[in-house]
Structures are given as C-alpha cells and as structure tokens.
Amino acid sequence: MIADLSVHQRSLIFLLGSIGLITLPHAWHMPLPIVSFFLLLWFWRFVAVWQKQYLPKRWLLFVLTMLGIALLITQHRGLFGRDAGTALFVVALSLKLFEIQGKREVFLIVYLAFIVAASQFLYEQSILMAGYILLVCAALLATLIIQTANQVQTYTALKTSVSIILQALPLALVVFLLFPRVEAPRWMWLQDNNKALSGLSKTLEPGLISDLSLSDELVFRVRFQGELPPPALRYWRGPVYTKTDGVRWFVAGKNSQLLVQPEFSGETYSYTLLMEPQAQDWVFALEMAERFDDSLTTDAWHLLRTNKRFSERAEYRLTSRTQYKTTAITPADYQDNLQLPVEPSSKQLELIKTLQGFEVSPEQFIQNLMNHFRQEMFYYTLTPPLMPNNPIDTFLFETRSGFCSHYATAFVYLLRIAKIPARVVGGYQGGEFNKVGGFLEVRQADAHAWAEVWLENKGWVRFDPTAAIAPERIERGVNVDLQVASGAVYFGPLMGESVTLNWLKRGRQLWQSVDYSWQRWVINYNSANQTQFLQRLGIEGANALLKWLIGGVLVITLPLAWLLLRQKLPVKDKALKYYLRFCAKLAKAGTKIHIGEGARAFAERAKNQHPDLADQIEHITALFIRLRYQANAQPSDFIELKKQVRKLGS
C-alpha cells in the first residue's frame, strides 16, 4: 500500500480521471451494455477512493469478471477484429481498477490504458483525435510521475510529462519518416461486418439518391496537377445499372477486366484522388480514366475497382481524358441493355410514337426526348411524391417531377422500348473547389445518375437528361450547405452572401485543407509514399536508409542527452560564479584577493584602494554573503548580483 493516504487518494483520483478521458471516445462505437459496464465499475471505484468498504469481495469480483466475459461474447461475434479486441481491453481495464494495492498495479493499469488509447486510432485518425489522445497520454504519463515521486505536485507532474513528450516528438518524427513501413498482408485484414460505411448502393430506386442529396458527408478529394475541368465535365464514374424489374435497377455483376481500352482524345487531366472509407470497392474516377495505379483495375463497364482496403482511406493517382470512344458491343451486352421486365404500356408506346422513336435515327429520337423533358413542364425536385408500384408511368404521365435518378431511369427505359441499347450510370457530378487547399471536395450531396446510350460508330455515349430540366445542376453544381440546411434545391453560390457566411465557409475550407494535408502526408504515409519521399532525398537501398536512420536518431538524441544529463549549478554555486567574476574585475584594477581571505575582509581592503567603487563593492559583497550563507535569500537577490557584477567598472 502507498504509505501517505492523501497522496494515495490524489494519485487514484488523477488516475481514474485519466482513464475516464482515455475511454470516453470509445463510447460512440462500442455496444451500450459494454459502455454501461465500464461506467458502472469506473464510478464504483471512484466512490471507493473515499469509502474503501465498498470495494468488492473476491467472490463479487469473480461474478463481475464472469459478467464482463458474458457481455464480450454476446455483444461481439467472434474473437478477432477491431471491435472485439477493443471491447476486451476496455472490460479488462475496468476490472483491473479493483485490484489496485500499490504502485505495481497502478503501473499495469496505466500501461493497459495506453493500449486502449492507441486503439482509438483504429476508428478515427483525424488531427483532432490525435491531439486529444496526445493530451490524455500526457495525463497518464503524469500519473506515472506522481507514483514515482509521491511528493510531486500535480502541476509539476503535468509539466514534466509534457516536457518528456515534446522531447520525444523529434525522435518519433525521424523514426516515422525513415523506419521501413510494413503493411499487413491481405489475409490479416480483419474486417468488421457491422462497420457502417457510406457510398452508393448496388440498387438504384427513387428515393435513394434523394437521401444522399441531403448529406454533406465527404466522399473524396481531388487535387489536379493543372487546370480543373469545367463543371459540365466533372462526371465521376461509378457503378453501371443494367437490369431492372420496373421499380429497381441493379448493378451489373462483376466481369473480367476490360480487354480493349477505349480510344481517347481531348483534354488530359492528371490528378490525385483521396477516397474516404467506402462500402464497396469502387473508385470514382473522372470520366473516363486512361491511366491509373497498379492497385486499380477496370471492368467491362469502365468502373474502377481497388484491391486496397476500401473500408479505409486510400489515395490513387489517375489520368483521364474528356473524349473517348468505346469498343464494339457484344451480343450479350446488346441484349442486356435492351432488357425490360414487362411489355411496354400503351402510354409508353404512344409517347414513343409521338416522338418518332420507331422512325427516326437514335440520335434524333434522343434529341426529341430531351426536348420533351424540356418543354412539357417537367420539374427538378428533391422531394417528389412516392412512386412505389409503377414509377416510370407515374413519373412520365402524372407527377412529372423528380431528381436525377427519375430522369435517368425513365430516359433509359424509353430508349430500350425503342430498341436502342441504354443503361444507367451512377456516380457523382461536380464538386466544390477549396480555394485554401487548392483541391476539389466531392460530397454525398453531389451524388448523381445519368444515362449511356450505344450508338453505331460512336460506342457508349453519355447523355444526362437532368441537364435538360436543370442545366444549372450540371453547370453550377450543388450548394451543399444551403441544400442540407433547408432540404430545398440550391445550385452554385448565391449572390450577396453575407460576410459572416463567407468567413465561415473560408474557415471550413481552411480546416479541410489542414485535414487533407494530415490525411495525405501522415495517415496515408505508406511504403509507396515513403519510397517516393526517400528517393527525393537521394536515399536508395537498405544501407543508405540504415545510415540515415542511425544518423537522424543520433542528431536528435545526443543534444537531448547533453541537455538532460548536464549538471545544473545550484543557486549558491551560481552566486559563487559571479562573485569570482567580481574578484577578477578587481584584480584587473590592481586588487587581488588573497588565499584564505574572507569576502568581508576583501571588500574592506578593496574599498580603501578604490573609494570610487566603494558603494558597488559593498552592495555586491552583501548580496553574495546573503545568497551564499543566509537562509532568507530571494531569487531577486541573484538577479541583482548578476546586474551589479556586470555594471562594475563600466
């Protein structure tokens, strides 16, 4: 037991407070029963700091342990994975609090708390979370300092822990940059099935993209090497929907890699795309991607798929062209893109006949259909009425209002009736340019659907019927902030925005820019990025890397070791140091101190020989005697001694 009860209580309170702060962020992603179990035991141990009789007996502690094991088994399926492992450490930490008998148990609990703190980075890796974990780790380190030196004050312990962390940061930076990055093999990727991830769905139906349109959740960020493509060309290609049951449209199944690349022309755009965690292995490239990383493949529908962990943030380098011509269509694809669930209705056939769909060329019919959407009082809205049974007819002949998926699916459906192969493409359109960071931000509010039509001698050609109804949606993009706030449709910036809103937007862009740099250069600093960084420094090969690593560690540790190990003179010795300078100045003036001569005797002799310096000599001698031999010396006396010695003879 710790001998001093007051120190023991203070140390326990500080320890329990630190553990509470460490575990707090886990409350948002752990099951409620496990969080409640931890809070109950944590509060129980807090009360027992003052009321020791409330500490559980051995049999009760055994029951609590069994209850904790039961919670782990019932709340998590399986023994491995991020969630199960984190919950195990949290439950073990809460039970360990009742075993505190001395410093040894406190040390074990603190080390376990460090593991719980580090596990938070498995859930969130933002710069804010990193700062928070750094602060609470400083509190845990201060707990160790208090346990090592019982009489140290809390403020002093915190100051010391912060000093230790600041001293360790340069060494951590060198190791982070130079130590070889080892990435886990694919078979060690422990996925959590209950992990909630965002992204487009494999099924498209009215209402799905409407929900996404009211979300400002970030999907990816793009930094272009040169000029940005104009808004009308910012189509970020995603899944292709080919099959339909008349209500829902389904993503085409996985196919082999694309054997023949399209013929590319037009402007070239090279860019770096930083994807947020997604629910699918889709990567949304600017249509159409010509070159991309080795970690990406493209399927028969020109959808990029990644072999990286799509449930985590990842970066890709791509090059796209704005004009392209796809290869010939296979007979199977031709039939798949004419598929209809039922025979066309009389209204649908009548509309196609009116628009000359069975008579004119496909290009002319498409133009007629676009004009029909434009001229027949169709409306763009995020809140169309429900169309559960027959959405195509309901949209075309009754409501005439909807968002992009309504227009794209109805457009494709009518083309298929006219025996023109067509399909729906999902993805994102537009994006907001971050002027501070110089990159494009694409959010769920930018989710979009458009159509692709097979035309002879042209291949698959993009048509966006939404552009016929709301061209500003394509040309100006979505105003995410206003649309999310009001639920109404807003495109592009509003004229006359207030100065306050402008500053708030600029502040958000500044923070997004900081976060973007943090994600790119810290979180995504993998083996490939490290290799590129080292090559810029001219470091190639294991021997060169080892020399740089050892040299960097020595450059950091040797000065720190000198600062930490050098002996600092106490105030008394510092006073002697300046008194000897005083004696040296008088020696230059012709008065040397004799061996064994006291300070007071030397002062009297020096005053007789230098009457013009008598007052200064007396003052310096009095300060030295007070600092050297008297208990009532003040820090200000030493400052005054330094000042007077420097002024002597000047």
Instruction: Write out pLDDT tens, residues 609-645.
Output: 998 899 999 999 999 998 888 877 888 888 899 999 9
User: What are the tokens at 270?
Assistant: 């090279």
Residue 51: pLDDT band with limits 50, 70, 90: confident
Residue 593 CB burial class (10 angstroms; 0-12, 13-18, ≥19): buried
Three-state DSSP state, 587? helix
Reply yes or no on whether the pLDDT at 488 is more than 70.
no
8-state DSSP, 519: I
Whole-model pTM: value is 0.69
ω into residue 288 within 30 of 0, thus cis?
yes
Reply yes or no on whether the pLDDT at 505 is more than 50.
yes
**583 assigned to active site:** no
Catalytic hit among 29, 464, 481, 583: 464
Amino acid occupying residue 383:
T
Distance CA 423, CA 450 (A): 9
Segment 161-165 mean pLDDT: 87
Residue 182: pLDDT band with limits 50, 70, 90: low
Instruction: Write out pLDDT tens, residues 54-89.
Output: 888 888 989 999 998 888 888 875 566 778 888 888
Interstrand relation of 314-325 and 289-292 (parallel, antiparallel or unpaired): antiparallel
Phi, psi of 376 (to 5 degrees): -100, 30
Contact in structure between 295 and 316 (CB atoms under 8 Å): yes
The domain limits of the chain are 5-178, 207-253+263-486, 527-565, 571-647
**448 assigned to active site:** yes
Instruction: Write out pLDDT tens, residues 386-411.
Output: 777 788 998 899 888 888 889 999 99
Of 137-141, 445-449, 524-528, the least confident: 524-528
User: What are the tokens at 75?
Assistant: 């709340």
Of the candidates 155, 109, 150, 110, the one whose C-alpha atom is nearest the C-alpha of residue 11 is: 150
For 626, residues 6+ apart whose C-beta sits below 8 A from its C-beta are 632, 633, 637
User: What are the tokens at 625?
Assistant: 């005697």
Catalytic hit among 137, 446, 448, 583: 448
**619 assigned to active site:** no
Catalytic hit among 8, 29, 83, 404: 404
Question: Within 10 Å of residue 343's Cβ, how many Cβ atoms?
Answer: 9
Distance CA 448, CA 474 (A): 10
Comparing 573 with 603, the larger pLDDT belongs to 603
| Strands (E) located in 225-331 | 235-244, 249-251, 263-275, 282-283, 285-286, 289-292, 296-298, 304-306, 314-325
Instruction: Write out pLDDT tens, residues 512-535.
Output: 888 888 887 787 777 777 777 888
